[in-house]
Structure 1
Amino acid sequence: MDRGLFLSKVPYSPPSWATHLDPIPCDIYSLGQVPTPIHKWNLPGLPKNTELWIKRDDLTGMQLSGNKVRKLEFLMADAVAKGADCVITIGGIQSNHCRATAVAAKYLNLDCFLILRTSKVLVDKDPGLTGNLLVERLIGANVELVSKEEYAKIGSVALGNLLKERLISKGRRPYVIPVGGSNSLGTWGYIEAIREIEQQSQQMGLCFDDIVVACGSGGSIAGLSLGSWLSTLKAKVHAFSVCDDPNYFYDYTQGLIDGLQSGLSSRDVIDIQDAKGLGYAMNTTEELQFIKEIAEATGVILDPVYSGKAAYVLLKDMKQNPAKWEGKKILFIHTGGLLGMYDKVEQLQSLMGKWQKLVVEESFPRIDGIGKMF
């Protein structure tokens, strides 16, 4: 499929193995820097003869980085086609999806309204400029705060509709994007990613047995599992849920793939394990230590909310159940989220070392230029 120039909208042509799905998107906006690279990832402690590879969807673009961009390529095309002048979406206070949506909207000359979930004690205070919030506020997104308690009581759909009706009453034309961009239209983002992986695998002479990804809203795993099942890949998709429990995601994913008339069962095409630990966006010292060790060992920085937790539990599972993974080629999808690390600075501080003052003797001569001494 010809994606056209960056920020251009082109007619969408699905992979040949997905033409029976319904509905098929009409258009796609070229927002991400794709294809993202795949490379060997030599994590320590892998089972015997196990190869781990990583797909760097954290490199889809600096401001738009991560898996959310793939969904937004379809969602933004739909918003523009329907004559929207602004978009609404919702997520946690450090939501990668909300940041990516705000950037994509600004690229396309749309206003963005974000409903961000925070604690009851902070809901009436300035949310600050940490991580994703800095990007969102720099580009002029409209931030509306809601407490976690209000969010749990009312729900994301009702909150989105509440803001939508308010904007309509002011003469605006809003387009609501669900949490994480996860609906059947957004699912096409990772169906398209499977076509990309399929082509890269053929070029690299690789045949992956398993695909591993973090799961936070369901859209990515729906697209990956559906695409892998239908394409030539046939790799088993393993999702590590960082919020809610596996049964919730099996049901949610089922709704997304049913929305495309696939006729498949989520429990047949995906394996979901619990990786939420202390809770969504909450980390133990052990998890953060793991992220630091992986960064030092491989140069790949995982985020603390999604990929970091997924990789942490994956390695634990490999140690506890080595026979399950031995001899396999595994592709890990890095879904981005680096800006989330800034929210963990205080927790990370005690884990950092390797610094000291450079000792310079008073008599040490100054040298300017190449070999010129004063």
Structure 2
Amino acid sequence: MALMFDLPAADAIYHQQCNINFRTGKSIPKSYQTVNCDKAALRSPGRPEQKEQKDAFEKMDGEFHNLVPYNVPVWAQHLQNIPTCFVKLSNLNTPVHKWNIPGLPDDVQLFIKRDDLTGAELSGNKVRALQILFAEALEEGATHVVTGGGPQSGHCRAVSLICRSLGLKPHIVIDRVEKKEDLVAMGNILLYRMAGSQIYVTPLESYTSLKRRIGRMQHFISDAYKEKCYCIPSGGATGKAVYAFITLFEELLQQGLHERFDDIVLTVGTGGTSLGVAVANSLTGS
């Protein structure tokens, strides 16, 4: 009884003697033990076993960040340079919603393809092409990726974030900037830095000149780090990336493109989206 007045000592002696663990059933005093009881029955209701946890996680994770075979639409199978796979970074297909904006004529209906719902962080439809390009980077064993664009390039932002999700090192060549000190950490530039991108700057250049400079940076980075670097041109405009928008057109066909709509309106930067849609539109006889 005297020990009861020294609570820390009493507690230490109790745990030294008992070491109770009711979840595992180990070292429980005999008076508390369950005789001939199945350990599975002692589990708390709803608490999954390790295998159940693993299976649930894998089901939730699905194919994300894994290489998946690319299936070109039947009507485009005669084309060349078809990608063999892509890395899953998005949730497709995205819906088409009616868009009610003021000033439309009474006989005009406007709909919008919701590629802001791809599920890829801050990238919109850019993730479609990058799924193909990053698959090529992973297949080649690259550990670095270099691309370029303007100070507030959405493409560069998407590349920076996807690199980090795949464990790659991003390198960004920023056009129209004389000195790094001129970069203000706001907007996409802030996101480049938050993703840990290595930033390089270059004065105003033409698209062709910037493309060559990014290509030279690929060799520079490979030599400097002694590791493979993959080059993505500004805007991700490559022959293989066009297939992302050929697939987009197939997605639109499944959503009733030919039956429901008369025109497609696109914004144009480096032209990859418009090229893929134009080729697909021609191949499908519209």
What TM-score bracket applies, with the shorter chain setting the length? 0.7 to 0.9
Cα deviation digits, residues 342-370 of structure 1 (max 9, x gap): xxxxxxxxxxxxxxxxxxxxxxxxxxxxx
Q: 2: distance between equivalents of 1:221 and 1:124?
A: 33
Do residues 229 (structure 1) and 285 (structure 2) align?
no
Offset, 1:37 = 1.7
Q: 1: distance between equivalents of 2:153 and 2:260?
A: 33
Counting only pairs closer than 5 Å after superposition, residues 147-166 of structure 1 correspond to structure 2 as 147-148=203-204, 151-152=205-206, 155-166=209-220
Offset, 1:193 = 0.8
Structure 2, unaligned runs of 5 or more: 1-61
Cα deviation digits, residues 47-104 of structure 1 (max 9, x gap): 3411110011122235242221111010001111111111110100000000111111
Offset, 1:153 = 9.7
Alignment match, 1:333: none
| Structure 1 residue identity aligned to 2:141 | G
Change (3 A) 1:153 1:42: closer
Change (3 A) 1:75 1:62: closer
Do residues 188 (structure 1) and 240 (structure 2) align?
no
Offset, 1:126 = 5.2
Change (3 A) 1:62 1:73: closer
Name the TM-score, length of structure 1 as normaliser.
Answer: 0.57
Alignment match, 2:263: 210
Do residues 101 (structure 1) and 159 (structure 2) align?
yes
Counting only pairs closer than 5 Å after superposition, residues 327-346 of structure 1 correspond to structure 2 as none
Match of 2:229 among 165, 174, 181: 174
| Structure 1 residue identity aligned to 2:138 | V
SS at match of 1:175: strand
Offset, 1:168 = 2.2
Give the root-mean-square deviation of aligned CA atoms: 2.0
Higher strand proportion (structure 1 or 2): 1
Offset, 1:26 = 0.5
| Structure 1 residue identity aligned to 2:165 | Y
Name the TM-score, length of structure 2 as normaliser.
Answer: 0.73
Change (3 A) 1:153 1:195: closer
Offset, 1:223 = 0.8
Q: 1: distance between equivalents of 2:175 and 2:87?
A: 28
Match of 1:137 among 184, 193, 218: 193
| Structure 2 residue identity aligned to 1:74 | I
Q: 1: distance between equivalents of 2:270 and 2:206?
A: 15
Cα deviation digits, residues 107-165 of structure 1 (max 9, x gap): 11111100011344xx24152321212222111111111121xx249811221122122
Give identity over the alignment, percent: 37
Contact 1:64–1:104, Cα closer than 8 Å, also in 2: no
Alignment match, 1:15: 73
In our comparison, the structure showing a higher alpha carbon Rg is 2
Q: 1: distance between equivalents of 2:248 and 2:110?
A: 19
Q: Which has the higher contact order (CA 8 A, sep 6+)?
A: 1
Q: 2: distance between equivalents of 1:160 and 1:72?
A: 17
Q: 2: distance between equivalents of 1:11 and 1:153?
A: 32
Counting only pairs closer than 5 Å after superposition, residues 277-292 of structure 1 correspond to structure 2 as none
Contact 2:90–2:120, Cα closer than 8 Å, also in 1: no
Contact 2:145–2:229, Cα closer than 8 Å, also in 1: yes
Q: 2: distance between equivalents of 1:179 and 1:154?
A: 10
| Structure 2 residue identity aligned to 1:104 | I
SS at match of 2:255: helix
Q: 2: distance between equivalents of 1:187 and 1:153?
A: 18
Alignment match, 1:24: 82
